[in-house]
Structure 1
């Protein structure tokens, strides 16, 4: 099985508690279980990670490059301002690895400051506004790209 990491940025550890009208009532553990199940059906070994620490998330991108691991990433608030994470994400795609940016909500339909992503320009693809199902679409995309 091909290993894939699903990386979640700040405040996603609070899923189910934080703004359920935007992010739904499901929690991070449910997302982990869903992603593992979806990954298994695609021949992918999925490891879900979450951190509120920008440096840790950047470190995971470096590990992905070093270990040749595709990435599904919900950068959360880092989406809009983390040029360090953008540079690290670019290393993933420059290494020839898929990096699919995913967002539970549609950032373009929210606050003005959320309309721009510093990750989208370096990501392989972006899935937004599909709730947890967006992660399934992102994992499908990774499997498709690896099969090409």
Structure 2
């Protein structure tokens, strides 16, 4: 049986749909999870979809993905710009890491132009809103099923 595809979401993403919808849209995190699950139907891959406002919990889940995942998609949110600890955890993975952002950080404030997570990512999907997660699932499937 194929291993799971992990989708981890960082701080404040639990507020999708209500927090700054002009930037992040009106789609909720539950909607995104449902779309990811639908995209994985028939592939044999399970979906592990989680969100935390706590850096340590995200790191624990990254460690879990080392054993139980075949790919990891992460929207680190604000931690992408600040967390060397997330980078270190991601660098310990032997599975593909895909960084995903709803907005395009390069078109926003200067402090958002740098991401520590990018240093460990196979690729980055940004600026496509909620659809970016489905693109990331497709990329994960391509990287794992054709490896």
Instruction: Count how many residue pairs are aligned between Structure 1 and Structure 2.
Output: 145
- What aligned pairs does 1:44-59 form with structure 2 within 5 A after superposition? 44-59=45-60
**TM-score under structure 1 normalisation?**
0.93
* TM-score (structure 2 length as normaliser): 0.94
Structure 2 match to 1:32: 33
* Residue pairs, 1:1-148, within 5 angstroms: 1-92=2-93, 95=94, 97-148=95-146
CA contact (8 A) 2:5 2:69 kept: no
Q: Any stretches of 5+ residues in structure 1 without a counterpart?
A: none
- What is the CA–CA distance in structure 1 between the aligned matches of 2:29 and 2:141, rounded to whole Å? 22
Cα deviation digits, residues 23-48 of structure 1 (max 9, x gap): 00111111111111112254432121
SS of structure 2 residue aligned to 1:131: coil
Runs of 4+ in 1 over 6 A off after TM superposition: none
